[in-house]
Structure formats: C-alpha cells, structure tokens
Structure 1
Amino acid sequence: MTDFRIDIRRGALITAALALLCSVFLVLPANADPAPFDDCPPATLCLYSGADGTGERRDFTDRQSLESYDAAWDGRTLSAKNNTALWACAYVDAGFGGLLTTVKPGNSAEYTTDPRFTGTLSSHKAVPTRALCFTGYERCPDNRVCTFTEPNGRGAMTVHLPRTDAATQNHGNSYGTEPAPKSAWNRTAKHVCFYPEPTYTGTWADPSDSTGLKRFGAYVVLRGDSTTVPAPFAGTFRSHELVNGTADCQ
C-alpha cells in the first residue's frame, strides 16, 4: 500500500515537470524573419529599392533634403520608412517638383502599387508640417531674386545674381534659355519689376478685355515677398530689374 502511494506521487511529479517543460518551449521565440523596415536606424529616413523595406537601402538624416538623386538612385525608391520626427515629402521630379507624396513621422510607405510613384521618385525633403511639402521657397539664398518653374517655389530654381545693365543702368537680369518662371521670391532690399521681353520692356494684354487695348505693365514683386505668378503673367517672364521704387519700372 505504501509503495503504491509513492508511485502516484512520482507520477504526479513527472507529469508536472513535463507540463512545465512544454510551457517553456511554447514561449520560446521562433526564428522568424525580421519585420519589414526593422533595419532602419532611429532618426533616419530610409529609402529602399525593393518593396517592404527590401533591396538596397539609402539613409538620410532629417537635415539631408535632396533636390535631386544621383543617377544610380534616381527613380529606384519602391518603399520608405520615415524614422524621424518630421514629415517626409517625396517628389516625382527634381527640385521638389511634380507630383508629391508624404510620409508621416514614424510611418512607412510603399510605392509599388500606384504607377504615379512606382520607380519615379527623384527628390525629397523633411519638414515640420505637411503643409511645407507644397512649397520650396526656402531654397532661395539671402539677397537674391529666385525664380521657379512651378507654383509655390517648387521645381527647378534659378538664382539671379544682380548686375548693372549697360542700357538701363538698373540692376537686373535678362534670362537665357532657362524656363520662364511661375513663382518667385525677392529676397533683396529692392523691388523687382518683371517683363515679358528680354530687354526689360514689354506689356501684357488683359485677357478680360476683348478689344485688346488694355495692357498690363511690369509685374512687381515687392522686397521680401514671395508669390505664385497668376495669369496672364505666369510662364512669360524674360527679364527683370531691381528698383528703389515701383515708379522706376520701365
């Protein structure tokens, strides 16, 4: 009788030990593949050449906005992880131009299903708010007139260096072959007069005037102002000059 009780206790102990051993095995971590984007370091914007954070990776800090990618990377981004505290703005064209898409702080993005962004991204920047993704004026240096090929300071930028024109004796620039601008920022201490002719002259017809007799003179951007150029002036500037007062425009 005594031996039988001992066997029962031994069997119960063995059963309990087996149960404990099984529970240990159940909580052991599996050798699973790492989750997508797990390799993106903190405080970094990571761009990948493959979906779900795969392929070649390019890392950027929140201070490394690029107006254009090198030839080896241009159009290769297929996914991204924004591991920064700022918004990431990605653009189809260089110079923060063309279509744009945004990535919230801490989020990831895929560019494999939308043909507008699949293999098309060419520039990016990091900004405190999403609204700043839609502008690019901040690129203009101090004491310069900057013109842009797209509204709101986006697209290719031309930085104009003031000079004295021999004919007008005013500080200005006559444009070469660069695209006519659709927005501008005057970061100088003078006003800017824009003209449709490369000789600091010309006028614009008023599209609302059927007679064609009403004309607009110089398009003026005051000192310190930035603007998206409206019709009929947008995309027509071919020269500008800097003046002390708007009455000095040709």
Structure 2
Amino acid sequence: MITTRPQIRRGSLLAALLALLCSAFLVLPANAEPLPFEDCPTGQFCLYDGSGGTGTRSDAPEGAKAERDAGTVLSVKNNTGMWACMYGKPEYGGGLQTVKPGNDDEYVTAGVRWVVGSYKLVPSRALCFTGYERCENGKVCTFAERNGRGAMTVHVAAVDPATQNLGDSYGPEVAPASVFNRTAKHLCLYPNADYSGSWTQGTTVYGAYVVLRGQSVTVPAPFAGTFRSHELVNGTSECQ
C-alpha cells in the first residue's frame, strides 16, 4: 500500500509566515510618550524648569533647603517621605504652597507663573509655617514676617558705650514682626534706638516688650514692626 503525502507548496508556506509576522507587528504598542515626572528618582525632590515635569531637572534629597536662589521652578515632584514647603519669596517668606509626599505640583496656571523664591523639606506640614529653626542657640533673631519667616537678622549682643546696655540698637529696616530669644537671658525690646520709649494700648502704657529666655513669638499690635533696640537682662524688672 502506497501512502502519499500531501504536497505543501513553498509559496503558500512563506505567505502564511509573512502574514503571521505582520499580525504580530500590528499588535505591538507604539513608542509611548514618557509620563510626567516618571524620571524623578525615589527619595528625591525633583525640580523642573518646565511645566508638567519637563525641561531641565535638578534633584534635592530629603531634608534639603534653599533659602534663596531657588532657580527657575515651574513644576516639582516630591518623591521623598517629607513635606515640601514652597515659598513665594526668599528666606521662607511670601506665599506658601505645600507638596505632600508622593505628589507633584505646578507653578504655571493659565499662563500665570507663581514664583518660587525658596523651599525646604520637613517631616510635617506644620513646620512649613515657621522659620524659627534658623536661629542658632545663644542668639537673638528677629524676622521680617510672622512665625519666624522672611528675612532674618541675627543680633550680636554688645555693651553700648553710652548706656552700658547689653544688647543691640538698629534702624527701621529691621522692623521685626517676630522674635526668637535663644539666649539664657530675658529680652527687653524698645521703640527707640537708645533703649527707651513706650507704647500705649488703651489705657495701658508699656515701657518694654519682653520675650522670656528660650521663647519665640509673633509680635502683636501695637508692638509689631516698631522695635529699634533691645537689651538682655537677668530679670524682667531690669527692663527700662
């Protein structure tokens, strides 16, 4: 008995293989555009000079800060475990926007740019609202804005040759809105440059505004922005 095999034409086989290859290529995905911010490494705070995570990227690790010269920042990706605090002015001043861990943010909305003047990465969002931590131990620091934000002046205590007061005298350019007394003495603040003057609030007259040792405060009216000198004393009764 003779068994005959069906003859397969080589041309038909080649055509079938080509059809199979073509169908495979048809279902392959096209090269997709990269997702916004996908290039930001884990553990880094990524700042871009373009919106939507585009342009040149610079990275900052957890705990990083830039009090000034933050550069051109139009978008960010917070790939750290900390909160990012973004300020509209240098030295943590001006408006504030916060970026929670894992989120991104845009600083161009409807063609309007929100300028980033400074930033810092902190463990909790509450720490975005204060800048007192910049004041070193043993110093008296005054700030241009509330809660230790804005331009900071570090005062070096010296004995005034005329009054013998241990403290500092300064002009209206300092204009403190908040104060941190990180010394071991109490702080007496005055409206005049010669450690004198007083304020009147209602029927009460104040001869000095006192910040106790180790305390920080946002200065209320009518004292805010009026200080021109201060002295360091062992007891508040020594205030002028």
State the shift of 1:110 in Å: 0.8
Q: 1:82 to 1:114 in 2, by over 3 A?
A: farther
Tell me which residue corresponds to 1:195: 190
CA distance in 1, matches of 2:42, 2:4: 65
User: TM-score scaled to structure 2, two decimals?
Assistant: 0.87
| Correspondences of 1:156-175 after superposition (within 5 Å) | 156-175=151-170
AA matched with 1:93 = K
Q: 1:151 to 1:88 in 2, by over 3 A?
A: same
Tell me which residue corresponds to 1:64: 64
State the shift of 1:119 in Å: 4.5
State the shift of 1:4 in Å: 11
Match among 72, 75, 78 for residue 74 of structure 2: 78
Is the counterpart of residue 178 in structure 1 residue 188 in structure 2?
A: no
1:46-100 CA-to-partner distances (Å, cap 9, x unmatched) read 1111111111222211232011016xx2xx2111111111000000011100101
CA distance in 2, matches of 1:47, 1:3: 74
Whether the aligned pair in 1 keeps the contact of 2:153 and 2:174 (CA below 8 Å) is no
Aligned residues: 233
Question: Where does structure 1 lack aligned partners over 5 or more consecutive residues?
Answer: none
Tell me which residue corresponds to 2:214: 224
Question: Where does structure 2 lack aligned partners over 5 or more consecutive residues?
Answer: none
CA distance in 1, matches of 2:37, 2:190: 51
Is the counterpart of residue 54 in structure 1 residue 54 in structure 2?
A: yes
For structure 1, which segment, 60-69 or 91-100, has the greater mean C-alpha deviation from structure 2 after superposition?
60-69
Q: 1:3 to 1:192 in 2, by over 3 A?
A: farther
CA distance in 2, matches of 1:165, 1:54: 56
Match among 225, 231, 234 for residue 241 of structure 1: 231
AA matched with 1:228 = T
AA matched with 1:151 = R
Whether the aligned pair in 1 keeps the contact of 2:83 and 2:101 (CA below 8 Å) is yes
Whether the aligned pair in 1 keeps the contact of 2:44 and 2:79 (CA below 8 Å) is yes
Tell me which residue corresponds to 1:120: 115
Moved over 3 A (4+): 2-7, 17-25
AA matched with 1:201 = S
For structure 1, which segment, 92-101 or 39-48, has the greater mean C-alpha deviation from structure 2 after superposition?
39-48
User: TM-score scaled to structure 1, two decimals?
Assistant: 0.84
AA matched with 1:32 = A
Q: SS state of the match for residue 152, structure 1?
A: helix
AA matched with 2:57 = R
Match among 150, 155, 160 for residue 155 of structure 1: 150
For structure 1, which segment, 173-182 or 234-243, has the greater mean C-alpha deviation from structure 2 after superposition?
173-182
AA matched with 1:82 = N
Q: SS state of the match for residue 158, structure 1?
A: strand
Work out the percentage of aligned pairs sharing the same amino acid.
56
Q: 1:3 to 1:100 in 2, by over 3 A?
A: farther
AA matched with 2:226 = T
Q: SS state of the match for residue 194, structure 2?
A: coil
Tell me which residue corresponds to 1:89: 85
Q: SS state of the match for residue 155, structure 1?
A: coil
State the shift of 1:204 in Å: 0.5
